Amino acid sequence: MTIRFDNQVAIVTGAGNGLGKSHALELAKLGAKVVVNDFGGARDGSGGSSEAAEQVVAEIKAAGGDAIANGADVSDMAQVEAMVKQVMDTWGRIDVLINNAGILRDKSFVKMTQDDWDKVVAVHLTGSEICSKAVWPIMREQGYGRIVMTSSASGLYGNFGQANYSSAKLAVVGLMNTLSLEGEKYNIKINCIAPTAATRMTEDLMPPKVLAMLEPKEITPAVLFLASNEAPTHRILLAGAGCYAMVRIMESEGV
């Protein structure tokens, strides 16, 4: 089975860094025109620049691919609608959406402020809903669409200091479950990955020997399969192996 994205347009949110950047670069290599969305590089969500996205676009173009940068905040409907308009004006279709943008506001539950909760839920959960909603009518009209949600091992198993993040990450599984039912008759397939760990997001939390096992290059192929024409009809949640064991290793090492 060869996966290609020729003549397809793919939006990857939060693609200025880490996993999203890896997905964007590989999609471009496989023929997709890529919308590299990122609203800034700050991990706590205080973004406001598309500089990281522009660098990824330059990298794609240097390798002979086609891409545009976009600085929309995925949790803002008006900005996302403007992004979708930019894409439709440029390329006239949207085949793939990878909901990847994310922030962290890790704190023990007793110290977590309501703002820490609201911001994380707004980006991970509401952002995935807003972006999916904005592309939905286009995908319906085309009779083709692929949406990949990014959950997390933290959503499935929990993690210290991540009540906000793990709640939002499990909720995107629920969003996938219902959208996949509603999308089926329009050939819109929605699937989900739950990486064991990401890159920059968790680098402070992980011992180096655990981090080494969890690079984006291990995760991107699974995402590309779910984003492709070959994606399974019945929704699938690909979870990183050994997620629970990893949390226990971290705990035993006092991380």
Residue 246 to residues 12, 102, 154: CA-CA distances in angstroms? Answer: 27, 21, 11
Near ligand ADP in 179-198, by CB under 6 A: 198
Nearer CB in complex with ligand ADP: 190/201: 201
Considering only residues 5, 10, 20, 183, which one is a binding residue for ligand ADP as defined by CB under 6 A?
Answer: 20
By the rule CB under 6 A, 162 interacts with ligand ADP: no
Considering only residues 8, 26, 60, 102, which one is a binding residue for ligand ADP as defined by CB under 6 A?
Answer: 102
Q: Which stretch binds ligand ADP (CB under 6 A): 61-69, 72-80, 134-142, 182-190?
A: 72-80
Nearer CB in complex with ligand ADP: 159/183: 159
Q: Which stretch binds ligand ADP (CB under 6 A): 15-23, 25-33, 129-137, 155-163?
A: 15-23
Check: CB of residue 101 under 8 Å from CB of residue 68.
no
Amino acid identity of 198? A
Calpha distance 124→171 (Å, rounded): 9
Amino acid identity of 12? V
Residues with a known catalytic role: 165
Calpha distance 157→143 (Å, rounded): 36
**CA angle, 218 as apex, 10 and 70 as ends, to 5°?**
30
- CB 52 → ligand ADP: shortest distance, Å? 6
Binding residues with ligand ADP: total (CB under 6 A): 28
Torsion angle of C-alpha atoms 53, 54, 60, 64, degrees rounded to 10 = 160
Q: Which residues contact 143 (CB under 8 A, 6 or more apart)?
A: 186, 187
Residue with tokens 């949600």: 149
Calpha distance 211→207 (Å, rounded): 6
Near ligand ADP in 104-123, by CB under 6 A: 123
Considering only residues 12, 52, 206, 224, which one is a binding residue for ligand ADP as defined by CB under 6 A?
Answer: 52
x/- track of binding to ligand ADP for residues 118-157 (CB under 6 A): -----x---x------------------------------
Q: Contact positions toward ligand ADP, by CB under 6 A?
A: 13-14, 16-20, 37-41, 43, 45, 47, 52, 73-75, 101-103, 123, 127, 198-201
